[in-house]
Structure 1
C-alpha cells in the first residue's frame, strides 16, 4: 500500500546579495503523495477524489457523512479495497485506490440528482456535484443547542498543537491538517492530506467508525481557511465549533450563523476573530466574549 510520501529528484538554487554566482545542488527529496481514490457504493462507482493515501477508510466514511448518506456507524456495513478495471474491462491488480462501501440499514443511498460523476480534486470538496441543491445538505444533528464553552487562550493555542503533531508536513511541507479537540484542548484525532476537505473527512470518518457521532462538545481546528464546505462537514458531524488559522468565506459565515455554529478565524497567539457564536468563547475568568 502506498505511503503518504513519494521521492523525487530536486535541484535547489541558492543566491544572495553580493554572491559571485548562484550555487546549485541536486538530491532526492520527499513530496506529499497525491493519488486518485475511486469510491463505490454497493458495487457501483460513485466518485473519484484526489487524496494522500493513508486513513482511506476514514476518508470514505467521512465523505459519506459529508454527503448525507450515513450518520452513524451501523449505517455503514463494511468498507473494502477492491481492484479496478482497465479500458478493456480487464480486472487490474489491486492498487488500493478503489474502495467499495456497503451501506447498512438507515443509510440514505445517493440519488441520481446527488450523484458525483466527475473527479473531486484535492482543492475543492464539492466539485462534481450535479445540482446546486445538492451542495447544501440537511444535518441530522443540532449544533445550535450545544452548550460547549472554550477558553480563548485554549482556542488560540490549538494551531500550535496541531502544527507540532503534523508528522507528514514536517517531511514534505505540502499537506493540510485537521485536528479534533476537547473543550480543554486535548487532541482526540489528527489527520493530514493534500486536500483540506479530505483531512476533515478523515476526522469525521474516524469518528463514525468509532461510533462517536455526533461530535458534541468538540472543536475542529483546521490549518487553512474556513470554507463553506468545511462548515458543512462540521455541521453534518455535529461539531459546534470550527476554528481556522486563516479567514472564512462569506458563505461559510452565513452557513455557520444559520446553523448555530461558532466560527473562528485567524486563531493565533493571543487573538481571535469570532464570526459567529461568540457566546461559546470565554476570556479571563470564564466571562463570555461581549459582542458590542
Structure 2
C-alpha cells in the first residue's frame, strides 16, 4: 500500500470518490506546465515587436523501478506520479496500487519537486517484473509524439490482456458528449495550443480523471495512473476479490487514436475509446480483437464507429 506521504499527493483526486455520484474535480494547475519565450509575429505587412508568448513545457522524465531505469519519456511536468504509475500499469509491471511501496520524486516523498526523476519501489513482498518492458524500450527515450509506436504487436498484448467482455451498453449521445469534457480540462491548451488532453468517464458520464500533456500517450498514462491510485482500475492479473466501484467506461482523447492509446485503454479495461481525430489501422485492428468500441472524429454530436457498435443503444 502507498504510505501516508504518497496518499496525500493524490488525496485531492481520491476525495471526490468518497461520495458516489459526484464528479471528480479538475486536476490542480501546475505552474511547471507552461513557460514563456519571446516571439515576433508577422502580420502580413510587418514584423511586430517581440512579446512574451506562452509555451507548453517539454522535459524528460526518467522512471526508475528499484533503481533500474525503465523508461525516459518527454512529458509536460506535473502529475509525474500518476504518469509513472500509468506507464508501469500499461506495461503490465504493476496490477494495482497495492503493488506500490513508495513513489519518490527526485528522492523526495510527498509533494512533487522540480526534478525529472521518479523512483518507484514495490510494496513489501511484491516483485515488480521490469523485464516486461522490452530491451529495445528500456532506458531509451520515448518521445512526446507517439511513444514507441509499432514495436509491440496485437498478439503480444492479447497474450497478457484478454479481450473485454460485452457491455456496458450506452446511448450514442454518451459517446458524442465524451469529447466535450476535453474542453473543460484543456486549460494549458487554451494558453499554449500545444498540449493534448485525455479524460476518463464512468457509464453515467461522470468525470473520473482528466489530464493534459504535450504527448497524447502521456496524457493517457496520467489519467490511467490516477485511476490506479484511486483503486478504480486493476490489471488483468490482479486477483483482489473486492469489486471495483465507478468503473471507467469511456476514455476520450484529443488528437488521433494510435495503437498505444488503445493498448493503454485495454490494459485498464476501459471498453470505449473516443477520439477527436482519426484512428490508425493498427488501432482499429487492436480494438476489434480486444472487444472494444472505437469511435473517431467525435465532434458536434457525430462520430464514426469502427468497432464495437453493439455497445451503442439505439433509442
**TM-score scaled by structure 2?**
0.78
Say yes or no: does 1:246 pair with 2:270.
no
| Residue number among 70, 79, 86 corresponding to 1:62 in the alignment | 86
| Match of residue 5 from structure 1 | 34
- Counterpart of 2:23? none
Q: What runs of 5+ residues in structure 1 fail to find an aligned partner?
A: 16-20, 84-93, 286-292
Contact kept, 8 Å, 2:185 with 2:212, in 1: the verdict is no
2:148 counterpart SS class: coil
> Alpha-carbon deviation of 1:264?
0.8
Partner of 2:312: 281
Deviations 1:198-234 (A, max 9, x none): 0000001001111111484510000011110000000
SS in structure 2 at match of 1:111: helix
Aligned length: 267
What displacement does 1:72 show?
A: 0.7
Q: Which moved more, 1:24-33 or 1:159-168?
A: 159-168
- How far the C-alpha of 1:107 sits from its partner, in A, is 5.0
Higher strand share goes to which structure?
A: 1
- The secondary structure found in structure 1 opposite 2:257 is coil
Shift of 1:153: 1.7
1:234 aligns with 2:265: yes
Structure 1 residue 151: Cα displacement: 1.5
Could you say which residue in structure 2 is the equivalent of 1:122?
A: 144
**Ranges in structure 2 where 5+ consecutive residues have no aligned partner:** 1-29, 108-112, 235-245
8 A contact 2:221–2:264 mirrored in 1: yes
Alignment partner of 2:224 out of 204, 208, 213 = 204
Residue 177, structure 1, aligned to residue 197, structure 2: yes
Q: Which residue of 2 aligns with 1:145?
A: 165
Alignment of 1:1-292 (within 5 A): 3-15=32-44, 21-22=45-46, 24-82=48-106, 95-104=114-123, 105-106=125-126, 108-111=128-131, 114-115=134-135, 116-126=138-148, 132=152, 136-138=156-158, 142=162, 144-214=164-234, 216-283=247-314, 285=315
The whole-number CA distance in structure 1 between the counterparts of 2:278 and 2:154 is 25
- Asked if structure 1 preserves the Cα contact closer than 8 Å seen for 2:199 and 2:252, the reply is yes
Distance, in Å, in 1 between the alignment partners of 2:47 and 2:105 is 47
- How far does the alpha carbon of each residue in 1:130-154 deviate from its partner, in whole angstroms, 9 at most, with x for none? x757994357665521421222122
- Could you tell me how far 1:23 is from its partner in structure 2? 5.4
Cα 1:236–1:112, aligned 2, differ >3 Å: closer, same or farther? closer
Change (3 A) 1:223 1:99: same
Larger Rg: 1
Partner of 2:9: none
The CA distance in 2 between the partners of 1:183 and 1:9, in whole Å, is 45
| 1:167 to 1:2, Cα distance in 2 relative to 1, 3 A | closer
